[in-house]
Amino acid sequence: MIEVTGLTKRYGDFTAVRDLSFTVRPGEVLGLVGPNGAGKTTTLRSVAGIIPPNAGTVRIAGHDLATDPVAAKRALAFFPDEPRLFEYLTVRQHLAFVARIYGVADHAAIAQPLLDELEIADKADELPGALSRGMKQKLAIACGLLHGPSVMFFDEPLTGLDPLGIRRMKDSILKRARAGATIVLSSHLLHLLEEVCSHVLILKQGEKIADGTLAEVAARFSEGAPDVSLEDVFIRATGGSEK
Amino acid sequence: MNSAMLGALLYLRLTSLKNLVLSRVRRLRQPKYLVGALVGAAYFYFVVFGRAFGRGGRAGAPARVAFVPAGGFMPHDTAPLALALGAFALLVVFVFMWVLPSQKPGLLFSEAETAFLFPAPITRRALIHYKLLSAQFSVLLQSLFFSLVFNGRGLVSGHAFQVLIGWWLILTFVNLHYMGASLTIARLIDRGTSTLRRRAAVLGGIALVVVVTIAWVWRDLRAPAPADLAGADPFARWLLTILDGGLLHWLLLPFKLVLAPFFATGLGPFLIALGPALLLLGALYFWVMRMEASFEEASLAQAEKRATRRAARRAGNYRLGQAAAKARRPPFALADTGRPEFAFLWKNLLSTRAFFDARTWLVGASLIVFGSRLLARMGPAQQGILSGLGVAALILAGYTLAFGPLVARLDLRADLGNADILKTYPLPGWRIVLGELLAPVAILTGIVTLALLLALCAFQPSEHASAWLAPELRATYAVCFAALTPALVALQLLVPNAAAIVFPAWFQAVRTPGGGIDLMGQRLIFVFGQIFIIVLALIPAALTAALLVFVTQWLIGPMLSVIFATVVVLAVIVGELWCGLWWLGGRFERFDLSAELRP
């Protein structure tokens, strides 16, 4: 479960995120949407414990991220838009390193099914430099899932993936959500979010415009029109501009 | 190349240069760049130019003689040797230009240049002209810089024209030849000539010259007699005879022609020497322009590689100079559970050379112990060698301890690009910082302890040596120093790592090669800042040690007093280290690289 209350993040005079509150329950997939510069990535990085917010509280799986960061981080996994890998570690060595950091006993028994599921088992002894963009993404996901996180953050998870990769990524996210994980993801690909997310949160200039289930948010901005898409909702909610 | 195209390319180059200068000037409004610029300017004024123009240095000491053209300054008997040695140095540089490229070389274009100019309706010849023109901007700047640094006295004594033209000729000669060699090698590769064959041909040619020269020396001259080696002058005369005769004379002739204006003894000889040098440049220009070789593909690859390196630096990845990425066996088996700091040690050791491991250390230690025993038994001459090795080992230990932490960067600085991921780990900041420091600490400690072992085994003090150099005390010193080494190295590593976290934007800029006088000043500030902080941190420990040894040696004897002092010093340094780790860990937890790099 993720509970965010009054989250504010400033960079000098510029406020990237202002007084943001939301809750995501186990099994829910929240889609963070907004124009460029709306504060999506800053929100994700703040709730994942990467950058400290200026105000507000974040609770991950019941642990306060500010007062008990180690317990909170033990429960989460963050997947950046660009896979961040160690150039000199093979796929297998990445998993061994992450296992030691999280204290995952007998990690090989967990890693092998993960590698099989993500279809990178045959690349286990390759360095990241020898992997394609999609393979790197899969390795980053395997590393993130190794310790069995109950909360997951995906920043633009579909960037750089081919159609097959996008399909598998969506299936993987839905599978984790059905298994009880709490998931937040940000993406500009609205039609894809519609397929994956149960909830949506629209940000503009660091402030929340709307949040709720897809149906709730659609109803609020549909102006009575039936079958409005998330794209239509997004354009109506944000006024069709970044400012 | 038609004039419109030339105008467009000139516009691109001049506008880029103007904007570069303006952006450098504008950033001086930020205090960190202004301070850097002032420090850099002061360094140039007092250290570099001061020496070149005869200022600075110790009061009363003669000013260092700057490297000047022969005109008016260089003794007449020295100028020919300097000319010959300069020509020889240029020959060596040219040989490297033909031997070194392992892949198809291309002309160096930026990514933007490849994107805009390669698809544009510009002939290949026009592109080469553009590169020649572009190179002239940096050649002119370099000529001015070298003249100021090496020939300051020549500049202020009425020889400015000769000095500047002299440097311009040399640098243009090198640049034109580099382009010609690159294009020729590209054409050879296109025609199927392998790198091995090219290298064999060039090195074979060099070997032939060496053999012929030796044969000529053997037949017509003589090997250096003891009289030739008796002093600098006779040796210089003998060397000049070698460089100025036989095959080498003809081989060095074009280089001497280019260098001749620089070494000319007056305006008349300078103008006379200018003609052949310009003719030679013309010939090189003709060669470059006539060369029909496809360089676009290699230029694109080079531009891409440079852009990737630049992006990596901006992202905080400073892995340059480390082992090439290659999958290899881990340095030790990493258990699934245990202290997570050792996972960082394991990871960072994987990014170094494979020989940085415990096995290499053990082999080295065994060789030192058995080798020194063997040498010690052989006789007085070998014992002399052993003593020399001991001195060298002590110097190595000192240098490693002082400068190793500046060079070994397998720590947090190399992982800043992955800071986002590191911060999601369920670890407090100090554990991440400590883990990141372990690899360079282990490597540098390994080197220092091996050097100490060699020094310990090598020195055989005489019977009249001080009681403080008794064998058991020397062993105690070595062990105590070895015990202090990891803490000392870690303390030194903390400073640059703290700089990377506390001043990330500054640190990033400082790590970027080139960049102007302000960045050079910033680098100087960092180096002096590091030295200052380390000295400050070591003063309490050093004073404590001195006081303890002085007081306790009368009570418990020298050996125990040294051990006791070491334990106390270690406690002081570990305490400082702990405070530093705790503070830096907290800073790392609040660290946000993206915020620091916001414009």
- The pLDDT tens digits for B278-319 are 999 999 998 888 877 767 777 777 777 777 766 666 555 554
Q: Any idea what DSSP says for residue B44?
A: I
CB contact under 8 A, A89 and B347: yes
Burial of B88 (0-12, 13-18, 19+ CB in 10 A): middle
The pLDDT of residue B327: 79
Is the pLDDT at B467 greater than 50? The verdict is yes
Residue B104: partners with Cβ closer than 8 Å, 6 or more residues away: B185, B186, B189, B190, B297, B298
- Looking at per-residue pLDDT, the higher value among A119 and B214 belongs to A119
| Residues B135 and B50 grouped into a single domain | no
What is the count of structural domains for chain B?
3
pLDDT band at B489 (very low <50, low <70, confident <90, very high): very high
Distance CA A43, CA A11 (A): 13
Reduced 3-state DSSP string for A192-243 = HHHHHCCEEEEEECCEEEEEEEHHHHHHHHCCCCCCCCHHHHHHHHHCCCCC
High-pLDDT (> 90) share of chain A, %: 52
Confidence of residue A143 (pLDDT cuts 50, 70, 90): very high
Average pLDDT over residues A188-197: 85
Is residue B428 over pLDDT 90? yes
- The reply to whether residue B351 touches residue A103, judged by beta carbons under 8 angstroms, is no
Q: What is the pLDDT of residues B375-417, one digit of tens each?
A: 877 776 677 778 888 889 999 999 998 888 878 888 888 888 7
Are B173 and B284 a contacting pair, CB within 8 Å?
Answer: yes
pTM: 0.73
By the CB < 8 Å criterion, does B335 face chain A?
Answer: yes
The span from the CA of A174 to the CA of A158, in Å, is: 14
- pLDDT per residue as tens digits for the range A178-187: 999 999 999 8
Minimal Cα distance from A45: which residue of B? B420
pLDDT at residue B61 above 50?
no
pLDDT given for residue A4 in this prediction? 95
Residues B237 and B378 in one domain: no
User: Which of B308, B339, B363 is the endpoint of a domain?
Assistant: B308
Please report the residues numbered 298 through 317 in chain B whose beta carbons come closer than 8 angstroms to any beta carbon of chain A: 317
Chain B environment of A48 (Cβ under 8 Å): 424
Q: Indicate if B360 and B304 belong to the same structural domain.
A: no
Q: Where are the domains of chain A?
A: 2-75+149-238, 84-148
Chain B residue with minimum CA distance to A78? B424
Least confident stretch, B10-19, B103-112, B221-230, B548-557: B221-230
Q: Is the pLDDT of residue B65 over 60?
A: no
Q: Which chain A residue lies closest to B340 (C-alpha atoms)?
A: A101
Q: Within this chain, do residues B500 and B474 fall inside the same structural domain, yes or no?
A: yes
For A79, name the nearest residue in chain B, comparing CA atoms only.
Answer: B421
pLDDT category at B324 given cuts 50, 70, 90 is low
A127–B325 C-beta distance less than 8 A: yes
Among candidates B62, B91, B57, B423, which has minimal Cα distance to B255?
A: B91
Distance from CA of B343 to the nearest CA of A (A): 6
Mean pLDDT in chain B?
Answer: 80
CB contacts of A11 in chain B (<8 Å) are: 595, 598
Q: Binning pLDDT at 50, 70 and 90, where does residue B124 land?
A: confident
pLDDT of residue B342: 95
User: CA angle at residue A115 from A109 to A117, to 5 degrees?
Assistant: 105
Contacts of A58 in chain B (CB under 8 A): none
Please name the helix (run of DSSP H) or strand (run of DSSP E) that holds residue B586, with its range, or none: helix B558-589
Mean pLDDT in residue range A57-86: 92
Measured between beta carbons, the chain B residues lying within 8 angstroms of A44 are none
- Same domain flag for B35 and B135: no
Q: Which of B471, B439, B449 is nearest to B364 (CA)?
A: B449
More confident: B298 or B531: B531
With contacts defined as CB-CB under 8 Å, which chain B residues touch A102? Answer: 425-426
The answer, yes or no, to whether residue B337 has pLDDT greater than 80, is: yes
Q: What pLDDT sits at residue B509?
A: 59
> What band does B63 get if pLDDT is binned at 50, 70 and 90?
very low
Residue B157 sits in the same domain as residue B264: yes
Is residue B294 domain-shared with residue B334, that is, in the same domain?
A: no
Radius of gyration of chain B (CA): 29
d(CA A99, CA B455): 42
- State the Cα–Cα distance between residues B331 and B250, nearest whole angstrom: 54
Judged by DSSP in three states, A154 sits in strand
Query: Does B304 lie in the same domain as B320?
Result: no
Taking the Cβ of residue B329 and every Cβ of chain A, the question of whether any pair is shorter than 8 Å is answered with no
- Nearest-CA distance from B321 to chain A in Å? 14
- Average pLDDT of B348-354? 86
Question: For the sheet containing A2-11, what is the strand order?
Answer: A14-24, A2-11, A55-60, A63-64
Residue B595's pLDDT is 57
Cβ distance of B417 and A93 shorter than 8 Å:
no
Interface check A66 vs B, CB under 8 A: no
* B44 against B497, higher pLDDT: B497
Residue B295 pLDDT: 75
CA distance B505 to chain A (A): 15
On whether both B540 and B582 belong to a single domain, the answer is: yes
Same domain, B394 and B493: yes
HSE, CB side, 13 Å, CA atoms: give it for residue B367. Answer: 8
pLDDT at A168 over 50: yes
B181 and B263 co-located in one domain: yes
Residue with token string 């800029």: B509
Mean pLDDT of chain A: 89
Q: Among residues 106-145 of chain A, which lie with CB inside 8 Å of chain B?
A: 106-107, 125-127, 129
Render pLDDT for A21-47 as a digit per residue (tens, 0 to 9). Answer: 999 999 999 999 988 888 998 999 999
Q: Please report the number of interchain residue pairs, chain A to chain B, with beta-carbon separation below 8 angstroms.
A: 99
Q: Is B571 found in the same domain as B510?
A: yes
Pick from B123-137, B205-219, B332-346: least confident: B205-219
Rounded distance between C-alpha atoms, residue A72 and residue A193, angstroms? 26
The domain boundary residue, chosen from B267, B291, B308: B308
Return the higher-pLDDT residue of B320 and A2.
Answer: A2
Average pLDDT over residues B167-172: 92
Q: Which pLDDT band holds residue B57 (cuts at 50, 70, 90)?
A: very low
Range of the domain at B161: 66-308
Q: Domain A2-75+149-238 is classified in which CATH homologous superfamily?
A: P-loop containing nucleotide triphosphate hydrolases (3.40.50.300)
